[in-house]
A and B are shown apart, each in its own frame.
Chain A
Amino acid sequence: MLPASLEEALSALAEYGPEAKMLAGGQSLIPLMSLRLAQPGVLVDLNGLATTLSGIEAGASGVRIGAMTRHRAAERSELLAQRVPLMAETMPLIGHAAIRSRGTIGGSLSHADPAAELPAVVLATEATLIARSLRGGERTIPASDFFEGYFTTALAEDEVLCAVEVPDAPPATGFCVTEVARRHGDFALVGVTAAVTIDQGLVTRARIALINVAERPVRAERAEAALVGAKPDAAAWAEAAALASTEIDPSGDLHATPAYRRKVAGVCVRRALETAAGRARGGR
């Protein structure tokens, strides 16, 4: 079904319950359907709501990104490049050009693939996700509470993710995303998003999120804590990298063993922190 309003979409979800599945960009759901891994009885196509649910708007203290905003639109957004540089830098790493034409920000976050990049972006930027249901109205969920496990989020069955709000970072904050993938556009074997704030020559705040090292994107909290008050130098990045690679517990698969993922995670953390700190100091 193709609802013409958000209310109509929410009613359909309330009516059909677990039978229904929302269709956003379709770049994950349709492959799953093609492979018969997903066989929803009812598809609620949100593309009719593209105008209501998409767009990138500047607010007083952050940027609001509509859930149906396509990756390509985000990739081309000047506003995002200025206000949420981490998301802008991440966009070209997501899938391929033709995938980004259709794929949406909200779809990627709701799908919650542990190997996807965007979940780590909203974690490192401490974004807020805004969901809506007929039953409960609007609800805000901090990114840190949103991802629960493999393809599982805090969204209820009858809830639609409507937008994500990314708060402005403190002054002198630099960001960086880095990942290791076997082929450009593939899901990363391991990836890292980082934010570093420097004040009076010391690190005052660090955020590190890791991609594809657990059943959900995770923050390296011990590494983050160790950086606070540290001098922003190679020794600090090396220590944080060592902490991050020990505080994760990645699983192995055909492409990478747990030990290899741990090693690469440390390398990615070090590189991401170093680059983010350089950007915090003003050398973009």
Chain B
Amino acid sequence: MDVTLTVNGSRREARVEARRTLADFLREDLGLTGTHLGCEHGVCGACTVILDGEPVRSCLMFAVQARGATVTTIEGLAVDGVMNDLQEAMRESHGFQCGFCTPGFLMQITAMLAENPTPTEAEIRDTLSGNICRCTGYESILNGVLRSIGAPVPESQTH
């Protein structure tokens, strides 16, 4: 089946099997391997991308369902090879260790900030509850988000 969609600002066309998930399509057909696949059944959040402004699990939809859609992946955040403010704040806060979950976290955070640019700490925690990180213990990720929005970062937890 033919699929045409916009990914990170570029129009992309491909012919895919109906059963191809959006995640596999991004990785295998478009070569955008920044989107990671952890559990492949919607639990871990690593494959989160932004589809028409909403965060979605790309493992829980088929590529053919994204026809005509606008998709942003982790590759779409940096501008001309320069990390954006969120990415920079995450780096400053050591918001990742192995990095496997990072793309999903960043896309979920990006979607959250687009809707609510000044979330409270509780709102951030609530939003991030759908993404699993096995390294950091989450505090440094939370601090990265707080830093990116210019909110105070708890002193004892800064690195």
Footprint of B on A, CB under 8 Å? 2, 26-27, 30-31, 34-35, 43, 45, 47, 72, 92, 95-99, 101-102, 183-185
Chain B residues with CB below 8 A from A99, complex form: 42, 57, 60, 130
Known: A97-B108, A97-B127, A98-B45. 15 other contacts (CB 8 A): A2-B64, A27-B42, A30-B41, A30-B61, A31-B41, A31-B43, A92-B126, A96-B127, A96-B130, A97-B130, A98-B48, A98-B130, A99-B42, A101-B54, A101-B56
| Contact among A45, A72, A98, A185 with B65 in the assembled complex (CB-CB below 8 Å) | A45
A183–B129 touching, CB < 8 Å: yes
Chief secondary structure at chain B's binding surface: mixed
Which A residue's beta carbon lies closest to that of B132? A183
B129–A102 touching, CB < 8 Å: no
B16 within 8 A of A: no
B59 within 8 A of A: yes
Which A residue's beta carbon lies closest to that of B48? A98
B60–A27 touching, CB < 8 Å: yes
B22-56 contact mask (Cβ, 8 Å, vs A): 1 or 0: 00000000000000000011110100100100111
8 intermolecular pairs with C-beta atoms under 8 Å apart = A27-B42, A30-B41, A30-B60, A99-B42, A99-B57, A101-B54, A102-B60, A184-B125
B111 within 8 A of A: yes
Which A residue's beta carbon lies closest to that of B47? A98
B127–A30 touching, CB < 8 Å: no
Given contacts A98-B48, A99-B42, is CB(A26)–CB(B61) below 8 Å?
A: yes
| Contact among A31, A47, A98 with B108 in the assembled complex (CB-CB below 8 Å) | A98
| Complex alpha-carbon distance, A102 and B129, angstroms | 17
B57–A102 touching, CB < 8 Å: yes
A34–B65 touching, CB < 8 Å: no
Which B residue's beta carbon lies closest to that of A43? B18
B112 within 8 A of A: yes
Chain A residues with CB below 8 A from B56, complex form: 98, 101-102
Chain A residues with CB below 8 A from B51, complex form: 101
B123, chain A: closest CB distance, angstroms: 10
B54–A72 touching, CB < 8 Å: yes
Chain A residues with CB below 8 A from B55, complex form: 97-98, 101
B60–A26 touching, CB < 8 Å: yes
Chain A residues with CB below 8 A from B65, complex form: 26, 45, 47
Chain B residues with CB below 8 A from A96, complex form: 45, 127, 129-131
B127-147 contact mask (Cβ, 8 Å, vs A): 1 or 0: 101110000000000000000
| Complex alpha-carbon distance, A199 and B127, angstroms | 39
